[in-house]
Structures are given as C-alpha cells and as structure tokens.
Structure 1
Amino acid sequence: MISDLRSGSAPAELTGDVCVVGTGPAGITLALELSKKGRSVVLLEGGGASYEADSQSLYRGSVIGHDNIDVANSRLRQFGGTSGHWTGMCAPLDPLDFEPRTDVAHHGWPITREDLNPFYARAQSYLDLGPFKYDFADWQAMLPGKALPLDPAKVFTDIYQQSPPTRFAEKFDEAIKTDPRIDCWLHANLTDIVLKDGSDAVQRVVVSTLDGRRTSVKAKTFVVACGGIENARILLNCRNQRPAGIGNQNDLVGRYYTDHMTIETSTILFNEGVDTAIYPEEIDVEGARLAIGLKVNPDLVKQLHLNNNSAFLVAQYDKDVYNDDFRNYGWIGFTTMVKTFSRGHLPDRFAEHYCDVIDDFGAVATGVYRHAVRKVAPPSRAAAFKLRQDAEQSPNPDSRVTLIADKDPLGFNRVALDWRVTSEDLLKLRRTHEVIGAAIGAAGLGRMQLGISETPDLEMAFSAYHHMGTTRMHADPKQGVVDADCRVHSVSNLYMAGSSTFTTGGCANPTLTVTTLAIRLADHLAVAV
C-alpha cells in the first residue's frame, strides 16, 4: 500500500517489523525481499510519487572541495530515488576491491567478493540484466569480433552489462501498492531518530511533511537507505541524545567520501586492420546488453600500487559529424525532454532541464545537426580511440560530508561536500594508461598518446555522481561506521543501506552492488527480527 502523509490519514504511530527509510534501489529492494520472507515493513519516502521542487530543495548544500560535482541535482528525492536518472551501467566489484592492501591506506572490506556472489546473482533481475556472468570467456563465442590479443598478465578485456536503465518507481510501483506487508508513506521526511532511554537501541523515528503533519514509526529494526550523502546527513543531524550524531562517536560519519572520477583522456592510435569491433559500441547478446573495456590485471595493480580502473574505448572519427563530443548536461536535458514529451508526459525537473538546454544551446544544436546528417552521410572511419573511465580513488578520511549552519525547512542542517581529488589519484590513472599503452605496443597493435601529465590538472576529473563511503563498513568501530552486516556499531537495531556503506569504491558503477547488499541485508534481518 502507498499512502501520503500529507493526507492526514496516518495514525499517531506506524508499526512494523522493520522500518526502511528511503525508496531508491536499496530501500525498495530491501522492502520487497523482507516481504517475501513474511516480515512487515513500514517504507518511508521523503518526496512524492514524482519530482517536486520543494522536496528536492531539501538536498541543497555547499561544495567546498573539488568543484566538478553537485550536491542537489545529482540526487532525486522522490519515490524510486535516484534510479530516476541513473544511466544503467552495471558490474560487480572486483575481488581486489575487498582485499586489505598494505600499499593503499584504509583499503579492504570485512567481507569478500565470494560472500556477495550469491546475492549478486539474485540482484540481476531487479535491474533487468542478463545472467550473472562478467567474465569475458562467458561471452566471447557470441561476440561479433575478437578481443585484442594482449598479454592477460598485464591487460585483459572487461565486461559490464547495461540495464535499460531500470526505473524503480515505474517497475515496482504496483508491487509496492499491492503488497499487504508493505506500508509505504510518501512525504514522510525523517526528522529524528529516538533512542530508548539508557539503551543503545532505536525506539522510534519521527517523520514530518513540509507542512507540519507528523507521525512516528515504531519497529524492531530500522534501516536508513537514503543515499551516500543523505545517510550521513541524517546521522549527523540526529544529535538530541548523542551530541556528535548517531554512530559518530569516532568522528567517522561523513568521512571517506569517495566518488568515481569521470575522465575521458589518453588516445590510442591502432594500426590499420586491428579488429576493435567489440569495444566502441554496446552489444546485444543472449538477453544482455554488454559494454566491453580494458582492465589491468589485479596482480599488476597491486605490484604497481595502482587504483582499480576499467577503461572503455570511445571512437574519435575522422569526420566530426560522427563524434559525440557535444554530449553534456544540456544534451542530456534535451534528449530527456524529447523522450518524455514523445510519451505524452511533462518531464520531471522540466525547469532544470530547460535551463541546462539554454546554457548549453550550442552543444544541443550541434547534436541535433550531427544526428540529422548521420542519416545521410557516408560511413566514417574511427581514426583513434580515447579512454573513458569512472576511475577509482584511494580512501581518504579528509574527503567528507559535514554540516553547515544553514538549515532546511524541516530544521535539519544542510551539508557541505568536500570532495578531495588528489594528484596521486590522477598519477595512478596515468600509470594505468601507461600499462595499457605498453601492452598495446608490445602486441604490435598501435601506440598511445598519454592525456595525463606528470603534473596532473585536477580539473580534468568530474564526478560520476556515485556518492559512496560516508558510513563505511569495517570490523573495527574506530575505522568504520557499520559492521559486516551494515549495522551501526554503536546502535543495536539501526542499519545503513546503500553506497554509503562501501569501504572502497572500486571502479564498477555502484547500483548493482547497492542492490546486492540490500538483498543480503534482507536475508540477515529476516532471521534477526
């Protein structure tokens, strides 16, 4: 059932086995999995069924670090969460991402990739993906070309899958509405977490609409699943009983913020006749849509003290009309509006998209022109390829989310995001490109022109809007906020879900792992409550 707290129909207290705060991929997956196991769920969403400017404005904050990032518009405060505008790239984290590393400080989860494999397999269907197969060997016989003949001890071919992308609001709306065990409330903003007197357990959470309608939720267990920034903001703001914020006794909530550095640079010039057919375009194979890239062997990553990275080849054509360098926020806004209008709907965030189009009108005009000309222009040859990646950062406790004095209409302090992009992060990416270039040269396939200098330009790194790490998982309460089961170390019945629990970011887009961890958490809670 889905109800609206603004209607005034809510009782003074809602009850269930588990209270889940947030309806993005983590929250909805968790609620559905718990319901399958016979548990009753109160599911809370601070926004409405679709985009609303006044609700979205609660996400406003400041950027005080690296400024190629956004605090508010990169997230959606509405039913379905930020799945409403994710792009759909999916891959599991690598075994390397979970390992402690002596050469990378603060690296390593208290769980392994093997621990997650059964849950990754179950997560595939939530995101409308193909089978849980991410090894090139599983797909190579079905592909329309061959892998580059590189030394696999140095560089190998990597597989991602592409979700449509799944919009959780569209896919699971009816399931939530008709599930007798799920009691979902819209416009129910969490405003406090109340601990039992003299206890380390949550007694209830208080929720409110923007116009002041309030209720509380009592449950055996509580899960906050509001995203990598908001999870930290909630814990830091709930300080009526714990002045530093809940779970923040070691000053770790909000620290270790990490993102993927979106960078397109370094150019590969292949020799005539080299088969690159499987790399530049996504390929439909056996019910899956694949994106194929290059990755440095994990043993070499450790030996050379690199960060993890998957690099995808972006074709640079000899005719500009076939190049996609016009793709920016204006183009994304324009295509979003066109697609939505074609279905007879007004786009969510219409005003924001319109402003993006106006600001980047030149790029939009270029894109429209090139798409029209491509229909009649003769085929173009890819003259070169750039490497595009969402590159990993090393864990950094000084990269963080903090509170500022400015408050939102509900009385919560807004956040400042201090995203740290370091020269060392970029130099590690440069060395990764050197390994790829050397492997291509050694195989006699071509050569590479490096795009990252020995004194890196930090401005080349843009946020992938993959907010991670602010309530990181660690066995030691002095190094992490939650334990291996995602439970807040200092609270017996409070759990965090989503990318805020990531100990490292790896290089895989986080949504598949977010969904996977939610399934794993549901299995744990079904036994615990």
Structure 2
Amino acid sequence: MIIDLRDYSSHEPVAGSVCVAGAGPAGIALALELAGKGIDVVLLESGGHGYESDTQALYEGDVVGDANTDVASSRLREFGGTSGHWTGLCAPLDPIDFEARPGVPHSGWPISRTDLDPYYARAQPYLQLGPFDYTFADWEPQFDAPALPLDPAMVGDAVYQQSPPTRFAETYWDPIAENPRIRCFLHANLIDIALTDDAVDHCEFSTLEGRTLRVRAETYVIACGGIENARILLNCDKQRAGGIGNENDLVGRYFMDHLNCEIGTVLFADETIDLSLYSEVVEADGTAMQVGLKLPFDIMRREQLLNNTAFLVPQYENTTFSNDFRGHGWVSFSAIVKAFAHGQRPDRFAENYCNAVEDADTIAVGVYRHVMRPFAAKGRALAAKLRQDAEQSPNPASRVYLVEDTDPFGWRRIALDWQIAPSDLLSLRRTHELIGAAIGAAGLGRVNVGITEPPDLDVVFTGYHHIGTTRMSDDPRTGVVDRNCRVHSVKNLYMAGSSVFTTAGTANPTLTIVALAARLADHLAGIVPVTAKGARSIGKS
C-alpha cells in the first residue's frame, strides 16, 4: 500500500516490525525482501512519485573541498531515489576490495567477497541484469568482436553488465503498492530519532506542510544515501552529543567517490585494429555488457595499487565520431530532450537549462555530429582515451559535516569536504604505465599516461557516487556500523546503502547496495518475529 502522508487522516502512531526510511534501491529492495519473508514493513520516502523542487531542495549544501563534485543535483529525493537517472553500469566489488591492503590505509572490510556472492546473485534480477557471472572467459566465446591479444599475466579483461537502466519508481511502484506487508508513506521526511538508553524508541516524520507521523518498530533502517545517512545521524543530537553513532567522531568521515576522468591515451601501431569489443555495448545471451581493461590482483597487491577498470574510448580519424563534447552541459541538454520526447516535464528543468545555455557551443557541436554520423564513415581508430571511475582511498579527512544553515525542519545542512589524495592519482598513473607496458609487449602500440607528477587534481570529476560516511568495521573505533550494518551503539538501528562501504573499489555501487540490502534482510529475518500470513502489525489508517 502506498499512502501520501499529506492526505493521511489518522493521528495515531503507526507500528510495524521494521521501519525503513528511504525508498531508493536499498530501501525498496530491503522492503520487498523482508515482505517476502513474512515481515511487515513501514517504508517512508521524503519525496513523491516524481521530482518536486521543494523536496529536492532539502538536499542543498555546501562544497568546500574539491570543487569538481556536487551535493544535491546528483541525487533524486523521490520514490525510486537516484535510480531515476543512473546510467545502469553494474559489476560486483572485487575480492581484493574487501582485503586489508598494504599501501591502502584504512582498508579491509569485516566481510569478504564470498560472504556477498549469494546476495549478488539475488541482486541481479532487481536491476534487470543477466546471470551472476562477471568472468570474461565465460562470456568471450559468445562475443562477435575479438579481444586485444594482451598477456593475461599483465592485463586482463573486465566485464560489466548493463542494466536497462532499471528505474525503481517505474519497476517497483506496483510491487510495493500491491504488497500486503508493506505500507509506504510518501512525503514523509525523517525529523527525529528518539532513543531509550541503547535503542530507538520511535521515529518522527513530517511533510513540508507540517503533517507529522510517529512510527514505532522493533527495528529501524536508514537508507537515505551516502550523504543524507550521515546528516541524519549528526542532526539527531538531542540525546547524544555529536549525534547518534558518533561516539568516536566517525559519522560523516571517509567520504569517497570514484575518480571520474578520461585521461591517458593508447596510441595504436595498427590503425585498422578492431576496438568494437571495448568501445560499444556488446550482447551475449540477451545480456548487455561493457568490457574494460584491469590489472591482475597479484599486480595490484605487489605494486600496492588502488583498483581501476579502464574503458577504451576510440578517437577516430573522422572527428564527427569524437565525443569530446560530452560534458555537464550535454548531459543536461540530453535530459531535457529525452523528457520532452516522452511527453514529460524534465526534472530540474531550470538547472539543466542553465547548464545547457552555458555550454551552448559544445552542444551545437554535439548535435551536428549526431546528425552527420549516419552519413559519414568513422575512418581509422587513431587512438583511444582511457575512461574510468577509479578507486579513491579511504581518507578520514574527506568528510561530510554540519553547517549553521538550516532546512525548513530546522535541521542543519551539510558541507562536503571531498579530499582526493595525490597518491590516488599517482596510483592511477602507475596503473596506466602497466597497461602501457602490456600493450607495448604485445606490439600494439604505446600509452601516453597523461597524469602529471605531481598530479593535477583538477582532472578528476565526481562519479556521482556517494560512498562511506557510516563505514563498516567490527571495531567501533574504526567504523560506525558492524558487519551486519548495525550502528555499534544502538541495538536496533541499521544503515543501508553505500554509506556503509569500507572501501569504494572501482565498480559502480548500485549492485553492491542491493546485495547488501538482501543480506541485511536475511539478518533481520533472524531477529524480527514473523507475523501470520496476511496479518499486519502496522496500525490502521
């Protein structure tokens, strides 16, 4: 059942077995998993079914660190969350990502990749992906295009699967609305977490118009995103100075994003080389995939390198096929055009319009090239840029913290101090050098690494992936939540989403977010009583 809190008539508290704040991929997957186990869920979402500017404005905050990032426009505060504009690229974290790695301070999850493997398999269908298989050798016989003849001991091929992308608001609206064990409230903003000595007693929610709702449950889960999860805990400081779970000043710290950059160039000796396996979405058995280059794990360990997958972006002889016009302005322009093509009002129209106007010259180039491509030949692939969302090392100084400015509920807004260590880019530089050595050894050409020494941090842009801030560790001195995502100092409060990641890896985070939600559902099913079939422990309206 889906209810708009603005129209809810009862003033009685709502009760349920599990209260989940946030109806993005983490919250929706968790609610459906719990309901499938016979557990009643109260799911609450700040926004409505679509974009609303006044609700979206609750995300606004300051950027005080690296300026090539963003706080509000990269997230969507609505049912389905940021899946409303994600690109759909998916891969699991690698086994090495969970290890405590020499040369990567603060690394090491309390769980391993094998602990998550069964949940990755369960997460695949939520994102409308193929089978849980990311081994290149398993897929290679089905590809029409050839792989580069590189020594696998030097460089391997990495497989990512491509979601349609799944829009959770479209795909899971009806399953949530029709599930008798889920009651979902829209326009319900979390405004307080009330504690007993060591547990949550209840949570308070409110609409922007002031209609309030109290929810009582046995277990509470916050699934509001990497920045908002930390903001919620920090603002709930009436009973615990410094905020809930912040006894060791860790909430908001270790903020990570992926280092999004297109830097480094492969110069090929043979200009007739076939790069289609790497430059296009390829299909096998109905599964859409992208293939990139990755160093073997033993080399990453030996060289003490961060993780990275480098995708090839061909630079063709005919510049009509160059995509160098694809910046923020082009992304905004594309969003407007796609929305109007579907008869919809574009999300964030004013913001996207301004971005497009500021970048009008390059947009004109992009439009011209798209019009001309059906009538032109690509010509030779003279080179290929290396595009990546490289791993950022966990850094306690990279953080989210509260500022004095407040939102309509009186909650303090945040400042994002995203700090990239120069060593992160030097790790990427060394990765490109090793890829270049493999390409040279195969007689295919050479690599211009592009990253200077010392590095220019301005070449890195946000991957729009908010990671860390309530990190996982078995030791409360080094993490906010334990291996089961429970806040160390509160026995019935859990965090969900990428805020619990201990390290970022290089894989896009959505698949791991959903896998962790499925794992959390299994954990909660073992501690939350299951009601009789068809019964609901949530209050009547």
User: TM-score, with normalisation over the residues of structure 1?
Assistant: 0.98
How big is the shift at 1:379?
Answer: 3.4
Taking the aligned partners of 2:351 and 2:50, their CA distance within structure 1 comes to: 15
Equivalent residue, structure 2, for 1:504: 503
Counterpart amino acid of residue 212 in structure 1? G
| Map of 1:117 onto structure 2 | 117
Q: Whole-Å Cα distance in 1 between the matches of residues 327 and 459 of structure 2?
A: 14
Aligned to 2:535: none
Q: Give 1:414-425 correspondences, 5 Å limit.
A: 414-425=413-424
> Residues 421-460 of structure 1: matches in 2 within 5 Å?
421-460=420-459
Q: Does 1:408 align with 2:407?
A: yes
Alignment-derived partner of residue 5 in structure 1:
5
For the pair 1:389 / 2:388, whether they are aligned, the reply is yes
Provide, for residues 278-297 of structure 1, a one-character-per-residue CA deviation record: whole Å limited to 9, x for no partner.
11111121111110000011
CA distance in 1, matches of 2:103, 2:372: 51
Counterpart Cα distance in 2 of 1:72 and 1:116: 30
C-alpha distance in 2, partners of 1:422/1:195? Answer: 38
Residue 319 of structure 2 is matched in structure 1 by: 320
- Within 2, Cα distance between the matches of 1:472 and 1:492? 17
Q: CA deviation at 1:319?
A: 1.6
Contact 2:91 2:134 in 1 (8 A): yes
Is structure 2 residue 317 aligned with structure 1 residue 284? Answer: no
Q: Show structure 1 runs of 4+ deviating over 3 A.
A: none
- Find 1:229's aligned residue among 227, 230, 238: 227
TM-score, normalised with respect to structure 2: 0.96
Matched position secondary structure for 2:170: helix
Query: What residue is the counterpart of 1:60 in the other structure?
Result: 60
CA–CA distance in structure 1, aligned partners of residues 326 and 45 of structure 2: 32
- Matched residue SS, 1:484: coil
User: Alpha-carbon deviation of 1:10?
Assistant: 4.1
In 2, distance between residues paired with 1:37 and 1:351? 44
Q: 1:115-514, aligned counterparts within 5 Å? A: 115-196=115-196, 199-272=197-270, 273-514=272-513
Once residues 10 and 87 of structure 1 are traced to their aligned partners in structure 2, the CA distance between those partners, rounded to angstroms, is 40
- Are the equivalent residues in 2 in contact too, given 1:296–1:436 (CA < 8 A)? yes
Query: What amino acid is the match of 1:420?
Result: Q
Report the AA paired with residue 411 of structure 1. Answer: G
Q: Does 1:48 align with 2:48?
A: yes
**Any idea what the Cα deviations from partners look like across 1:344-386, whole Å, max 9, x if unmatched?**
2222222222222112111211111101111212333221001
For residues 136 and 424 of structure 1, the distance between their equivalents in structure 2, rounded to whole angstroms, comes to: 30
Are residue 22 (structure 1) and residue 22 (structure 2) matched? yes
Q: Does structure 2 conserve the Cα–Cα contact (< 8 Å) formed by 1:341 and 1:347? A: yes
Alignment check: 8 A CA contact 1:202 1:494 kept: yes
How far 1:11 sits from its partner (Å)? 3.4
Question: Cα distance, 1:155 vs. partner?
Answer: 0.9
CA distance in 2, matches of 1:319, 1:226: 45
Residue 51 (structure 1) shift: 0.7
- Residue 96 of structure 2 is matched in structure 1 by 96
CA RMSD of aligned residues (A): 1.0
What is the count of residue pairs matched by the alignment?
Answer: 527
For the residue of structure 2 that corresponds to 1:528, the secondary structure is coil
Q: Does the 8 Å CA contact 2:102/2:301 hold for their aligned counterparts?
A: no
Q: What percent of counterpart residues are identical?
A: 60
Residue of structure 2 in register with 1:106 after alignment? 106
Which amino acid letter does the alignment assign opposite residue 253 of structure 1? V
The CA deviation at 1:458 is 0.5
1:94-123 superposed Cα distances (whole Å, 9 cap, x missing partner)? 000001123211101000001100100111
What CA distance in whole angstroms lies between the structure 1 residues aligned with 2:29 and 2:397?
32
- Which shifted more, 369-378 or 7-16? 7-16
How far has the Cα of 1:207 moved from its partner?
0.6
Shift of 1:274: 3.6
More displaced stretch, 357-366 vs 410-419:
357-366
Tell me the distance in 2 between the aligned counterparts of 1:270 and 1:115: 41
Question: How many Å apart are 1:146 and its aligned residue?
Answer: 2.2
Listed one character per residue, the Cα deviations across residues 382-402 of structure 1 (whole Å, up to 9, x for unaligned) are 210010000001110000000
Tell me which amino acid in the other structure corresponds to 1:101.
R
Letter paired with 2:135: D
1:411 deviates by 0.9
Q: Whole-Å Cα distance in 1 between the matches of residues 31 and 8 of structure 2?
A: 24
Specify the code of the residue in structure 1 equivalent to 2:229.
N
For the residue of structure 2 that corresponds to 1:278, the secondary structure is helix
CA distance in 1, matches of 2:459, 2:169: 34
Partner residue of 2:533? none
CA deviation string 1:143-166 (max 9, x = no partner)? 112222222222101100111111
Report how far residue 275 of structure 1 moved. 3.7
Partners of 2:188 and 2:258 lie apart in 1 by 31
Gaps of 5+ in 2: 529-541
Contact 2:497–2:517 (8 Å) recurs in 1: yes
